[in-house]
Structure 1
Amino acid sequence: MLNTVWEDVKRQYFSGNMITRLILVNLGFFLFFRLLWLGMFLVQGQAAQNNIFDFLYWFSISSDWFKVITRPWTLLTNMFLHFEVGHFLWNMLYLYWFGRILSELVGNYRILGIYVMSGLAGALAYFAFANIFNLPIGEYALGASAAIMGLILAAATTAPNYQIHLMFIGGVKLMYIALFVVVLDLISIPTMANTGGHVAHLGGAMMGFFIARQIQNGTDWTEWFNNIVDKIVGWFEPVFTHRPKPKMAYKNPNKPTQKPKNDGFTSQDRQAKIDAILDKIKKEGGYNNLTAEEKEFLFRASKEE
């Protein structure tokens, strides 16, 4: 049974889109720390709660500059960590809902860059706020909320009139949802209840907004990040990839060479059609107003990119 589950997870990870992969990575971290806590509890009893948090903080962003310098990996790992069940479930739902919308708008290949850059912006906003204003906002912060806020703002900036149908409310434009969550974080800062988290959310939201605006202006801030990821993956690919032995093949000189298939679009034509579809989404209020042909074209284009 466990082997079947593991094979299903691997298949979903390698065949799924970036949203699926991010959810699985977050799930992996969540289960690791919860199961570790269970094991520690069985051995240590009540002392396990303090000990598990001591270990968790080695991967969470700190407001202490010395700990940030000596644990630089926390700038990245904090955005994949959750410990409370509710925190994890709600963040994964938001990641799925808004991540899927954003991938339809800007392409699957930009999602990881927006997620990580927004998460980094949130961590830096938390660290800066704690040290500039010297407020007791908590020594550590963790969670994907800042990264997800970046996805929400990027989607709302790209297609502000995109409508989401909410239970008991009906259709709501994406820009109003984004405005609501930003204002909610702003007015929650003085309450001193998760103040560091609210500041981090706003940092992630600002990064998502700026990334989307730059994409609209023709500058892709995620490109450098994708290049770094491609290089890192390239280093490890020979280790994990099994290359089959080369096979001999004969070429029949009498058989005519087949021409590559062409769907009738040059790269310029394809990009022009994508831009026209995105403009239609913005002007007519959402993805659901597209024709079946336009939805299919946008889906294929996002997969190819």
Structure 2
Amino acid sequence: MELRDRLSYEWNKSNNVLMRIIMINVALYLTFALFILIAKFTNMAAIMEYTYKVFYLPPSFEEFIYRPWTLLSYGFMHSLKGFNGILHILFNMLVLYWFGQIVVSEIGSNRFLGLYIWGILAGGVAFLLIFSFVPFFAAQKTMGLVGASAGVYAIVIAAGTLMPNVKMNLFIIGEVSLKWIAIAYVVLSFVMLAGGDNAGGDIAHLAGAGIGYLFVVQYKKGNDWSKPVMSFITFFQNIFKRKPKMKAYRGGQSSQKTDDANSQKQARAKKTTEEQNTIDAILDKISDSGYESLTQKEKQILFQASKK
């Protein structure tokens, strides 16, 4: 299966928010990296760098009020500065994938998305408040905040709070309970905050961690904090969703046309149901035996369905 087809299949799978978030982060990183690389050989380098920085969360409210979208956009961007930038996105996406699977299995894709967004927002708000109103941090020079780390921290701490005693096998160290991994993340951020090399990022990490813990505590009490996020997303989806065109008929049309139209609708509905049943059976087969167990015909059916 070609890479494009595989990516299309992964994107269109149902309840696949985790992989979509990872794909968006990687796609944006590669896109801006390519554009800036090309711009260095043209006269557009300054323009491209400015365009990229427009997505950073600025360190003061005076700048933020002119770029309010950055409270969310920064969480889907990563630094492009050399090898450190590569490590930044690589480590974030790996940790998001490992711990994200645990969280999705416990609370579902929609709540996972809500948690990730809340982590990004909490990290951004904490960064803005600290660098705007705390003199020690306000005196520091920083270009702004960028990276998915606040959202990733929310997911890691949520995993440790949801399933504290579940063990994860870490390279060299061996099996470690999720609660200890979560605690280590928080302690590490406090230690790094004291060092001051990346104060803005560490503040965002801790805010994301805090929201991850609170989200799960409230979830266990029956309060779903993902609902406002999902309602907001659904609102915008409905705005851009195509509305079916209404067909008007002149008076005097025979009832035969109405009957024919109804018959066609019933036939289409039956065909759609049969196709959906086939796709569901294929997805169940993947869940039980993996993608490679599919026949060529089943793979083709799945691919055609992903393009609709």
TM-score of the pair, normalised by structure 2:
0.73
Residue equivalent to 2:166: 162
Residue equivalent to 1:61: 57
Q: How many residues align?
A: 243
- The Cα shift of 1:11 comes to 2.4
The answer as to 2:69 corresponding to 1:73 is: yes
Q: 1:90 to 1:239 in 2, by over 3 A?
A: farther
Check the 8 A contact 1:137/1:195 in 2, yes or no: no
Residue equivalent to 2:23: 24
- Describe how 1:25-174 pairs up with structure 2 within 5 A: 25-44=24-43, 48=45, 52-82=48-78, 83=80, 84-134=85-135, 135=137, 136=140, 138-174=142-178
The answer as to 2:215 corresponding to 1:215 is: no
Residue equivalent to 1:262: none
- The Cα shift of 1:239 comes to 6.8
Q: 1:239 to 1:71 in 2, by over 3 A?
A: farther
Q: 1:218 to 1:43 in 2, by over 3 A?
A: same
- The Cα shift of 1:5 comes to 4.1
Distance 1:170 1:33 in 2: 37
- The Cα shift of 1:7 comes to 4.1
Moved more, 143-152 or 128-137: 128-137
Q: Which has the larger radius of gyration?
A: 2
Partner AA of 2:107 in structure 1:
V
- 2:214 aligns to what SS in structure 1? helix
Moved more, 65-74 or 4-13: 4-13
Q: Which runs of 4+ in 1 moved over 4 A?
A: none
Residue number among 203, 208, 211 corresponding to 2:207 in the alignment = 203
Matched-pair identity in %: 30
- The Cα shift of 1:117 comes to 0.7
- The Cα shift of 1:39 comes to 1.2
- 2:234 aligns to what SS in structure 1? helix
- Describe how 1:188-267 pairs up with structure 2 within 5 A: 188-238=192-242, 247-249=264-266
Partner AA of 2:149 in structure 1:
S
Distance 1:231 1:147 in 2: 22
Q: Which runs of 5+ in 2 are unaligned?
A: 245-260, 268-286, 289-308
Residue equivalent to 2:8: 10
Distance 1:239 1:8 in 2: 30
Q: 1:249 to 1:33 in 2, by over 3 A?
A: closer
Distance 1:115 1:105 in 2: 15
Distance 1:249 1:171 in 2: 56
Residue equivalent to 2:301: none
Residue number among 162, 177, 182 corresponding to 2:181 in the alignment = 177
Distance 1:189 1:15 in 2: 39
Q: Which runs of 5+ in 1 are unaligned?
A: 251-294, 297-305
- 2:176 aligns to what SS in structure 1? strand
Q: Deviations over 1:194-235 (max 9, x none)?
A: 111001100111111111100011100111211221222222
Partner AA of 1:23 in structure 2:
I
Distance 1:68 1:248 in 2: 51
Residue equivalent to 2:291: none
Q: Deviations over 1:48-96 (max 9, x none)?
A: 3x65443222111011212211101101100000121111111110110
- The Cα shift of 1:27 comes to 1.2
Check the 8 A contact 2:114/2:230 in 1, yes or no: yes
